[in-house]
Amino acid sequence: MSPDHPERVAAWLSEVFGGPRFYTERYGGYRRMVSQHIGKEIRPEQRALWATYMVQSADDAGLPSDPEFRAAFVAYIEWGSRIALENSGPSATPPPNMRCRAGGGSATRRRARGRRPTRMTRR
Ligand code: HEM
C-alpha cells in the first residue's frame, strides 16, 4: 500500500460524513477510490478483518461516540467494504457513480439538528 494510504482513507471517510472535499480535490474522488480496489481480489475474511479494525479504530481516532453516529459509521463500513469486495475482481465493472455522501449531507450536522442518521443508497 502507498505510504499515505491512511491519510487517503481518512480523507475519503471524512468527506463521506460531510467534511471537506479533500479526497475529491487531492486524489480524484469516487472513481479513483473505486479503481484502487479493482483486481485486488479481496477475500471475505480480509473484508471482515478490515471492517473490524476500522470500527475499533474509531475510538483511537476520537470519533464521536454517540450511538447515532457510531451506528451510521458501522453501517457505512459494512456497506462499503462489501461493495469494495464486490468490485475487487479482475474484471469488476463498478457503477460509474454512486451516492457517497451520507444522505446527501453531513451526518454530523444532521445529528446536531436532531434528525435521523444517514442512509447510504446507490444512485
Ligand atoms: C468502506 C470500505 C472501504 C473504503 C471507504 C476504502 C477506501 C479506500 C481508499 C480511499 C483508498 C485509497 C485510494 C487512493 O489511492 O487514492 C483505498 C485503497 C485500497 N483499499 Fe480500500 N476501502 C474500503 C474497503 C477495503 C477493503 C475491505 C479492503 C481489503 C480488505 C481494501 C483494500 C484496499 C487496497 C489494497 C487499496 C490500495 C492501496 C494502495 O495500493 O496503495 N479496501 N481504499
Report residue 99's pLDDT band, with 50, 70 and 90 as the boundaries: low
Residue located nearest, by CA, to atom 13 of ligand 1: 33
Which ranges of 1-123 does DSSP label H, i.e. alpha helix? 5-16, 22-26, 29-35, 44-60, 67-86, 107-112
Nearest ligand 1 atom to the CA of 81 is 2
Question: For 41-59, what is each residue's pLDDT tens digit?
Answer: 999 999 999 999 999 999 9
Cα 36 to ligand 1 centroid, rounded to whole Å: 6
Residue 73, C-alpha cell as written in the block = 459509521
- Pocket test of ligand 1: the residue of 34, 35, 36 to mutate, having most ligand atoms within 8 Å of its CB, is 36
Query: Could you tell me which residue, 116 or 64, shows the higher pLDDT?
Result: 64
User: Mean pLDDT, the chain, as a whole number?
Assistant: 83
pTM of this structure: 0.82
Each residue's pLDDT tens digit, 7-49: 999 999 999 999 999 999 999 999 999 999 999 999 999 999 9
Instruction: Please give the domain boundaries of the chain with CATH numbers for all domains.
Output: 5-112 (1.10.490.10)
